[in-house]
Structures are given as structure tokens and as C-alpha cells.
């Protein structure tokens, strides 16, 4: 399931998916989120949406749907308040709470990354051993696709945090992408021994000694050009600052000159390491981008991907 070059969402596996959508998240919310929610709902007849935000914004989605489809939309009103930041952030907090309480299966937000990560960590809880849940983005490459993490959650991680992110990324590549023995690389400024800052110089030995889930294996240092080609690694780990800079640069390049695989939504990332499915979209995401993000969240729920990743990591840790 994903978005085509024209912005249409293609429907994949059957099964109901209930997605809590933060109507207040994003640079152009709620209008662009309403557009994305409507596109996603029209494309997937098994999709149910819980629209969290101003009632008038939710009403716009209902008004655009045929009467027979309106039953697939429910609302969780958030009234404007003071200060505005508190009102906006209450949208994602309420969406996360809906998942925690069983009213929704997954969350989609294009709001503030910090608020989303904090809300998910507090509202859903973190998986054992995860101190800083990372954001993982799927990037189109010349060879196919690649998972990049972290892309904005942990800007100054320590060695243990990056090591956990490597485990999470390897499990993701195996469960979601079906990659046997995922290749995990470390992003740095050069592949020569000793290149990079203190963290990058210390990590190779740490990563080389990891027993990665899904049969994953550490393949060494990679550079930015290796992320574009996708020939060396299936998963690339880095700190959230560097990952976010790289991600936004690639997003702009794809928008200007075209993506090698337009069907891969580059503006949606999965928050790994929390007890639930949380998809975060870029604040500047368009309606088609958000529709693809909602479809991605539905796909992950239908695959039971988050639970499968957690089980794989726990089984691997127990055996080591």
C-alpha cells in the first residue's frame, strides 16, 4: 500500500484499520489534513478514521463522503483554547490516548515531532531497552528502498541508543520489507578507519558485536551517496540531527527532480520502540502525502508489524 506518482493511494491487504488522525498537526492544518483524510478514506473502503480536532474540520470530511461511507468516520472534538501551542499539542495527545484506550489501531500526525514522540512514549509506553524511540523513514533508492533512522527524534544519542536503533531497524527490514539478513550500516563522512566524530569512531566496534534480529548483520560505514544508491545497506543508522538534515535534503531533491520510486512515500516515518503504531508525517506534507501516511499506518496495523518486530527483538535478546 502506498501513493502513486499522481498522489492516488493504492489499496493493499484487506481488513479493517482504525486510524486516529491528528487534524491539528502540520504547517497547513487542518485543511491539508482534511484533504489527506478524505483521499485515504475514499481509496480504502475498509478504513475507519477517528478525526481528532475541531468539529468543523471533521465535518468537512463527512460532508464530502457519500452517506454510506460516513459511518466510517468518528470524531474526537478538540476545542480551541489558550495558549495555541497547548491546543495544537492536545490533538496528538488525544489521538495517542485513543490508541492506548483501544478506540483506534494507529496514530497519524504531521505535528511537532517532539510533542508526538513525547505523547507516544508517555501514552503508550516504550518497549524494554528503548530509551529514545527513533523515527524510521523509508527512502527510495536506485536499488529499491532503504530504512533510515533516526530522522529527528534523538539528536544527540549515545552508543547504546544507536545500538538499539540498529536492532529496531533490522527487525523492521525483516518484518515490513521481508528482507532476509538485513544489512545495517552506520552513516558517516567517510569509510576510512577513524573518520567522523567521537560517536562515529566508537560505534563500529559496538555495532560489529551486535546480534541483530532477523539475521541482520553490520556491514560497516556508509556515506550519503550510499543512501541514494542503496547498494550497500538495507538499514542505515545515524543520529536524529544528521538523519533529519539528510531526509529533508532528499525530500526536496525528489520533489524537484523526481524520485526513483514515486510509489514509496518519503514524507512518512514510523516511530519505533513504543507500544503502538505511530506514523509521523513531515509538517509540510501535502494532502496526497498525508493520505499515503494514513495508508501506511493502516498497512502496518494489518500486518501486525509493530508487535511482530517487538517479538522478534525480545526473542533474539532472550536467546543471546
How would you write the pLDDT of the chain (320 residues) with one tens digit per residue?
A: 333 333 333 334 458 899 999 988 888 888 899 999 999 999 999 999 999 988 888 888 888 888 888 889 988 887 565 455 565 567 888 899 999 999 999 999 998 888 899 999 999 999 998 989 999 999 998 889 999 999 999 889 999 999 999 999 999 999 999 999 999 999 998 888 777 888 998 999 999 999 999 999 999 999 999 999 999 999 999 999 999 999 989 888 888 887 788 777 667 899 999 999 999 998 888 899 999 999 999 999 999 999 999 999 888 776 66
Whole-angstrom distance, CA of residue 211 vs CA of residue 202: 18
**Residue in the structure block whose three cell numbers are 501551542:** 85
Whole-angstrom distance, CA of residue 53 vs CA of residue 23: 5
Report whether 57 contacts 34 (CB < 8 A). Answer: yes
Q: Which of 127, 107, 200, 190 is nearest to 162 (CA)?
A: 200
Whole-angstrom distance, CA of residue 67 vs CA of residue 216: 49
Q: How far, CA to CA in Å, does 207 sit from each of 29, 186, 193, 203, 215?
A: 40, 9, 15, 6, 14
Whole-angstrom distance, CA of residue 288 vs CA of residue 8: 7
Please state whether the predicted TM-score (pTM) of the whole model is above 0.75.
yes
Dig out the grid coordinates for 46 from the structure: 475498509
Dig out the grid coordinates for 180 from the structure: 532476509
Amino acid at each position: 500500500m502506498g501513493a502513486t506518482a499522481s498522489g492516488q493511494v493504492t489499496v493493499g491487504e484487506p481488513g479493517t484499520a482504525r486510524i486516529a488522525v491528528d487534524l491539528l498537526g502540520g504547517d497547513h492544518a487542518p485543511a491539508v489534513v482534511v484533504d489527506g483524510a478524505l483521499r485515504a478514506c475514499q481509496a480504502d473502503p475498509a478504513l475507519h478514521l477517528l478525526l481528532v480536532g475541531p468539529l468543523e474540520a471533521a465535518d468537512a470530511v463527512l460532508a464530502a463522503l457519500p452517506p454510506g461511507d460516513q459511518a466510517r468516520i468518528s470524531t474526537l472534538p478538540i476545542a480551541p483554547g489558550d495558549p495555541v501551542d497547548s491546543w495544537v499539542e492536545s490533538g496528538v495527545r488525544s489521538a495517542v490516548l485513543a490508541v492506548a484506550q483501544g478506540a483506534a489501531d494507529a496514530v497519524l500526525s504531521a505535528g511537532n515531532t517532539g510533542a508526538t514522540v513525547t505523547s507516544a512514549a508517555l501514552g503508550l509506553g516504550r518497549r524494554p531497552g528503548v530509551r529514545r524511540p527513533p523515527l524510521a523513514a523509508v527512502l527510495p533508492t536506485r536499488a529499491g528502498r532503504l530504512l533510515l533512522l533516526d530522522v529527528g527524534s534523538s539528536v544527540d544519542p549515545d552508543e547504546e541508543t544507536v545500538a538499539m536503533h540498529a536492532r529496531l531497524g533490522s527487525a523492521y527490514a525483516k518484518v515490513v520489507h521481508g528482507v532476509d539478513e538485513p544489512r545495517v550500516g552506520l552513516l558517516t563522512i567517510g569509510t576510512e578507519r577513524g573518520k567522523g566524530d567521537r560517536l562515529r569512531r566508537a560505534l563500529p566496534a559496538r555495532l560489529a558485536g551486535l546480534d541483530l534480529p532477523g539475521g541482520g548483520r553490520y556491514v560497516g560505514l556508509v556515506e550519503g551517496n550510499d543512501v541514494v544508491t542503496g547498494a550497500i545497506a538495507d538499514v542505515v543508522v545515524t543520529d536524529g540531527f544528521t538523519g533529519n538534515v539528510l531526509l529533508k535534503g532528499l525530500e526536496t531533491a525528489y520533489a524537484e527532480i523526481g524520485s526513483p520510486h514515486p510509489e514509496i512515500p518519503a514524507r512518512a516515518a514510523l516511530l519505533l520502540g513504543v507500544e503502538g503504531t505511530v506514523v509521523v508525517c513531515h509538517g509540510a506534507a501535502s494532502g496526497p502525502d498525508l493520505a499515503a501516511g494514513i495508508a501506511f499506518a493502516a498497512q502496518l496495523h494489518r500486518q501486525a508489524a509493530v508487535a511482530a518486530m517487538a517479538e522478534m527483538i525480545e526473542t533474539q535478546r532472550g536467546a543471546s
